[in-house]
Amino acid sequence: MSYLFKPKNYNPVLNLQQTELGITKIKDFFQANLSAELRLRRVTAPLFVLRGTGINDDLNGIERAVNFPIMDMGDVRAEVVHSLAKWKRLTLGDYGIENGYGIYTDMNAIRADEELGNIHSLYVDQWDWERVMSAEERNIEFLKMIVRRIYATLLRTEYLVSESFPDIKPCLPPEITFIHAEELRQLYPDKTPKERETAFAKKHKAIFIIGIGGALGDGKKHDGRAPDYDDWSTIAENGLPGLNGDIILWNPVLEIAFEISSMGIRVDKSALLRQLELENKKERLEMYFHKRLMEDTLPLSVGGGIGQSRLCMFFLRKAHIGEIQASIWPDEMKEQCKALNINLI
């Protein structure tokens, strides 16, 4: 079911022409700086993959992939990607990328089961990135180092935007704040996961929540994660599980916690087996991706996705992702946006 946040007295800072210019500036600058910061090279990525290979990202495990038959291959079915979490790791192995280096790509996806609203669209565009790492780096301090480098790129991008459009004032703090999902639960025991994110992000403005995907102390998950890419079960800092997380910013226009990246250290063989068993998905071990991992033909890696439209939406102070990208919206939402001075593309 679609849902629209209705900001009070919304008046876009930039007109349509300025917005398009801003989108170009942000995308060009951010990807160049992210590439330099993490030592990533750009690669070409697929829009669809073959069904049944285990390569597609199944997100929370309930979302349906858009699929179609390939006439010239006996009607075998292909799926439009949800993300490239596993494909990237295969590519690292096939390209022979060295330790400390990685890849990034422009990922375009269709997620037909998204609940449409200010921050969710049928069309998903993000920078998907993946970097080779060593076994000794599979720890929480290495993860935090990577997060801080990404955040440094965000700060530089914010400065570029404020210099280009002086009416947009910087709002990010100089440092990002880390907290584990279990610590967040204990801090706000009477709130839902989303309410906890809102309260903590409002206070700190830029946060990274560690350990998303596994059960917390109350037996519930902070949020879902597929069992076969992020490592959310390895015991890490303070005896708490998880080597992954989300980068979340406080959105001053919508006044909500605003996720811009899901990322983490990826599963090794033991974490994959453990998480597949926890999620009752051991049959996946017969799939191509999982066999490659178990046969040690894939490197250890860290990676994630960073939303392109979301990043532009945040820095250009837009109230709806439809002000950044062209997509399809319910008629009722289009009428509501028009009344709120939200100009959908």
**Average pLDDT over every residue of 83-108:** 93
The reported pLDDT for the residue numbered 109 is 86
Radius of gyration from C-alpha coordinates of the chain: 20
Q: Of 83, 262, 275, 301, which residue is the catalytic one?
A: 262
Q: Could you state, in order of their start, the residue ranges of all structural domains in the chain?
A: 46-339
Mean pLDDT of the region 87-95? 94
pLDDT higher than threshold 70 for residue 62: no
Query: Which among 246, 266, 317, 323 is annotated as catalytic?
Result: 246
Is 57 labeled as catalytic in the residue annotation? Answer: yes
Give yes or no: 246 in active site. yes
Does the active-site annotation cover 309?
no
Q: Which residues fall within 8 angstroms of residue 318, CB to CB, at 6 or more apart?
A: 12, 19, 253, 312, 324
Task: Give the active site residue among 79, 259, 268, 323.
Answer: 259
CA separation, residue 109 to residues 63, 82, 112, 287, 329 (Å) = 13, 6, 10, 22, 17
What's the pLDDT tens digit per position in 122-154? Answer: 998 999 999 999 999 999 999 999 999 999 999
Question: What single-letter amino acid sits at 250?
Answer: W
pLDDT (tens digit, 9 = 90+) per residue, 166-178? 999 999 999 999 9
Residues 46-339: name the CATH superfamily: Bira Bifunctional Protein; Domain 2 (3.30.930.10)
Which residue is catalytic, options 31, 126, 261, 275?
Answer: 126
